[in-house]
Amino acid sequence: MNNLLTVEEVKNYLEIEQQQLEHYIAQGKLQAYKIGGTFLRFRKEDVLNLRFEIQPASGARKKTPGVLSRIADFWRFNNFYILSLLIVGAAIYFILRA
């Protein structure tokens, strides 16, 4: 089992930019390991610990979506099913009406 993460995986998981990642390494908050002399890797446990340390700061900045945003997301991901259900319902109505 691989317990090491790449630079890109860490940046995506922590949702940070390259400069911020370099800052955490320089401060000693995140230990980087060189593999083969060129590839930087990070232990999953270290990344998880750092995420829990910085999560309250990043969580406070995130805004919860409003009702209209949630409705728009629901429509965007389910419009095919909703329209299909309406078409089938209309077809059944017209078949039974005749």
pLDDT in tens, 4-57: 888 899 988 888 898 998 899 899 889 888 887 776 899 999 998 888 888 765
User: Do residues 58 and 70 share a domain?
Assistant: no
The reply to whether the predicted model has a pTM over 0.85 is no
- For residue 3 the two structure tokens come to 């317990």
- Separation between Cα atoms, residue 47 and residue 14, nearest integer Å: 8
User: Do residues 47 and 1 share a domain?
Assistant: yes
User: Do residues 27 and 44 share a domain?
Assistant: yes
Residue 37 phi, psi dihedral angles, 5° rounding:
85, -15
Residues 57, 24, 26: CA angle, nearest 5 degrees: 150
Residue 52: which domain range? 1-62
Count of structural domains, the chain: 2
User: Do residues 11 and 56 share a domain?
Assistant: yes
Which CATH number does the domain housing residue 3 bear? 1.10.1660
User: Do residues 23 and 57 share a domain?
Assistant: yes
User: Do residues 74 and 48 share a domain?
Assistant: no
